[in-house]
Amino acid sequence: MSDYSGNTRLNPYFGEFGGQYVPEILLPALDQLEKAFIDAQNDEAFRSELSDLLKNYLGRPTPLSLCRNLPRKGRSKIYLKREDLLHGGAHKTNQVLAQALLAKRMGKRRIIAETGAGQHGTATALACALLDLECIIYMGKKDVERQQPNVFRMELMGAKVVPVDTGSGTLKDAVNEALRDWTASYATTHYLLGTAAGPHPFPTIVREFHRMIGEESKQQILAQAGRLPDEVIACVGGGSNAIGMFADFIDNTDVALIGVEPGGKGLSSLEHGATINAGKPGLLHGCYSFLMQTDEGQIEESYSVSAGLDYPGVGPQHAHLHASGRANYVSVTDDEALAAFKLLSAHEGIIPALESAHALAYAVKRAEDSDEELILLVNLSGRGDKDIDHVRKIFAAQANDAKES
């Protein structure tokens, strides 16, 4: 039965995870994308156009900041990789620009993408505006309602936002709808997937186009701290910022890799998005990886205060890093992330994205609980401007509850 496989040029699997679990009709589009990716990586013109955009449009390299006031006890140091300073407000634009260039290279001028809270949609919209591509963003109906400012942002930059009201009306349904569009439109359309999940070659492409996060960090921390960090820490929803941060450290086995999953209201509450900590392997959106699902295999809704981490799956390379023991996946609750959000704002003058606040919450706790002089490197993957309203309402409600009780 050897002729089942062997059509991909790169390995579609990470250990037992990954693969190409999509309708047969999409395989030629995935093969075409893989080929374009390999060719582009070897094409000086592509590389120089991308690196020019990364430098002069996005603002790379991003700084590495040593926290001056955190942690408040212990001897450890926390360094922040400042992806929050990137144009677009988060790491996401790195790989979006690169994929948009790949689309042009394949002669595809129509871009479709999914978005949850609107961050990937916004990044895709800005790249399409810049590169003159048609942009369609699928967004759950519930998310459209609760993320109006981001819908307006996307529309301002010329994207068409399509509300998805099938299923639960959230991110996973937006992915379903984008995949459905793609099964009819692949000849002219590129599906610009927003995270390091999905069918091969997406997890590899997304990792490679984010790997400068870890590469820059490594050079910067060697220059600033004089040695490699003890732990590299990043939040994990689908896992794109984490894999970009981890990739260059995977072979440095003395460096611990810590992925921080959204613990929501606690892992025992069923309202969380801690896929690796509390899910089990299965097939969703093109790959075999950990999933939140029922015993019979129906996909469950995830939950997190942070929309960017609210996804019931996770990238297959993270599943493998977990299974092989190379990385350690922990979870941080909504309340812990909100406390870290406050802490970084109050003590460092940086308002982090709620996603990144999960990574920070773990780092602060680790630093304050340790007697050692640890060097902790945190990927501050995005800024918190988008979360201000949401967090303000949560704090107001909490203050109200406290008054009443």
Q: How many Cα atoms within 13 Å fall on the side-chain side of residue 40?
A: 24
- Binding span for another protein by CB under 8 A among 15-23, 71-79, 154-162, 314-322: 15-23
Q: Is 20 one of the binding residues for another protein (CB under 8 A)?
A: yes
Nearer to another protein, 180 or 365 (CB): 180
Is-catalytic flag, 272? no
Options 22, 100, 235, 376; binder of another protein; rule CB under 8 A: 22
Restricted to residues 291-310, the positions that interact with another protein (CB under 8 A) are 291, 293-299
Burial class (CB in 10 A: 0-12, 13-18, 19+), 231: buried
Nearer to another protein, 296 or 401 (CB): 296
Nearer to another protein, 20 or 147 (CB): 20
Q: Is 176 one of the binding residues for another protein (CB under 8 A)?
A: yes
- Binding span for another protein by CB under 8 A among 121-129, 247-255, 286-294, 333-341: 286-294
Q: Are 308 and 382 in contact (CB under 8 A)?
A: yes
Helix (H), strand (E) at residue 333 = strand 327-333
| Residue type present at position 168 | S
Helix axes 354-369, 334-348, angle to 10 degrees: 80
Query: Which among 319, 259, 302, 246 has a CA at the least distance from the CA of 15?
Result: 319
Buried-exposed string 163-189: b where 16+ CB fall within 10 A, e elsewhere: bbeeebbbbbbbbbbbbebbeebbeeb
C-beta neighbour count of 6 within 10 angstroms: 7
Q: Is 138 one of the binding residues for another protein (CB under 8 A)?
A: no
Q: Shortest gap between Cβ of 281 and another protein (angstroms)?
A: 8
Options 157, 271, 282, 328; binder of another protein; rule CB under 8 A: 282
- How many chain residues bind another protein (CB under 8 A)? 39
Residues that bind another protein (CB under 8 A): 1, 3-5, 7, 19-25, 27-28, 166-167, 172-173, 176, 179-180, 183-184, 186, 281-286, 288, 291, 293-299
Residues that are catalytic: 67, 91
